Structure 1
Amino acid sequence: MDLGSPKIEAVLRLCAILLLVLVACLVGLDSQTKSLVYLEKTVTYKDLKALQALVYVNSVAACYNLIQLISRGSFLARYKGSFKSSYRYVDWGCYLLDQTAVYITFAATSAALEHSVLVVTGAEAMQWMKWCNKFTRFCDQIGGALICSYIACAFMGFISSISALNLFRLYSPKHFLLLKTN
């Protein structure tokens, strides 16, 4: 089976879309309320700016992958996988956008993980309390969402590799960045 197959790319994009939407929903809809002495405290993703960014980035990445799934599917159906040199600009654009989506999603997930670790451990020097002692369900759900987000990043990394394969098939292996003549 050809690793650059449009079917494999479509399945990977669909899996990435489902995971990205799952993460956005898990983080965006997560909240927990606890009674602390005389007041009630509700924590949501809006309390941590990194989680807010994670919701936005995952939503945009899911939309991008959906647009790519739809447009590449119809585009590939038009030229049936025959790699013509006139489509190299489209392939370059897809490759660069796929790379950008992976890196930005990975960066947002890593920032959310770093922020979440501070919430778990606390920081006495900054007078940050340990939230996860009191809001365990909230923290567990965020942890699961972060794992799903890293898995979605892995899927998008494979998609980016397929984009690179499809792009560099256009070029001659003997001459650096010269298009194939056949």
Structure 2
Amino acid sequence: MGILGSEGVLRLGAAVLLVVTACLVALDSQTKFLYYQIAKKATYKELNALYVVVWVHSAAAIYSLLQSGRCFFFAAPIHHGTSRPATSSYLTTATLCFILDQVVVYGVFSTNSAGVEASIMAITGADSFQWMKLCNKFTRFCYQIGGALLCGYVACLLMIVVSSISAFNLFRLYSPNKFLILKAK
């Protein structure tokens, strides 16, 4: 398996973890009865950060699946031993993949971190805002959200490795001796 196959496997693994994260967050709910009559249900829609996590992780999973398909089915094998000339279309594709990979990694990491921050507020509460602790009443809900966010961070680590491969695929096209000059044909 070459570097392209490894990239495809990593992208597929990240997509699976992103789907698991989105599904765990979106499908998690717990209902408690307060005072034996009033039912209170905790869902991901209670925290806006978790709502955004579901959508961003879903979009990132779709992107990762499309890119893994590109790695497995549409890309021509690259021979690293030969000096392959950089064509304009290959350079454009490599640049676009690098930029999109960076956007996806930063987007997933930032929304996952916002979800963690909102979850910590649900665990500790905030007396100054009169926000009550949520996780002492909905413990199963909070544990499942914590596991989902952990899966999101593992997916983020896989996407960082993929982004590094994408950077390698782009910057190997440039000459090591001259700044931002493509390698000679």
Scaled by the length of structure 1, what TM-score is found? 0.94
* Secondary structure in structure 1 of the residue aligned to 2:32: strand
| Distance in 1 (alpha carbons) for counterparts of 2:43 and 2:126 | 20
Moved more, 97-106 or 5-14: 5-14
For residue 32 of structure 1, what is the aligned residue in structure 2? 30
Partner of 1:178: 181
The TM-score normalised by the length of structure 2 is: 0.93
1:109 aligns with 2:109: no
Aligned position for 1:131? 134
Q: What is the root-mean-square deviation in Å for CA atoms of aligned residues?
A: 1.3
Distance in 1, matches of 2:23 and 2:15, equals: 12
Alignment match, 2:86: 85
**Deviation of 1:7 (Å):** 1.3
Whole-Å Cα distance in 2 between the matches of residues 70 and 181 of structure 1?
Answer: 30
Q: Deviations over 1:146-175 (max 9, x none)?
A: 111011000000000000001111011000
Percent of paired sites with the same residue: 52
> Do the aligned partners of 2:30 and 2:140 also contact (CA within 8 Å) in 1?
yes
Displacement of 1:74: 2.7
Question: Hey, what's the Cα distance between the residues in 2 that align with 1:36 and 1:84?
Answer: 69
- Whether 2:63 is the aligned partner of 1:64: answer yes
| Helix, strand or coil at the partner of 2:104 | helix
Q: Distance in 1 between matches of 2:34 and 2:91?
A: 60
Kindly state the Cα deviation for residue 81 of structure 1 after the two structures are TM-superposed: 1.0
Total equivalences in the alignment: 178
Which residue number corresponds to residue 156 of structure 1? 159
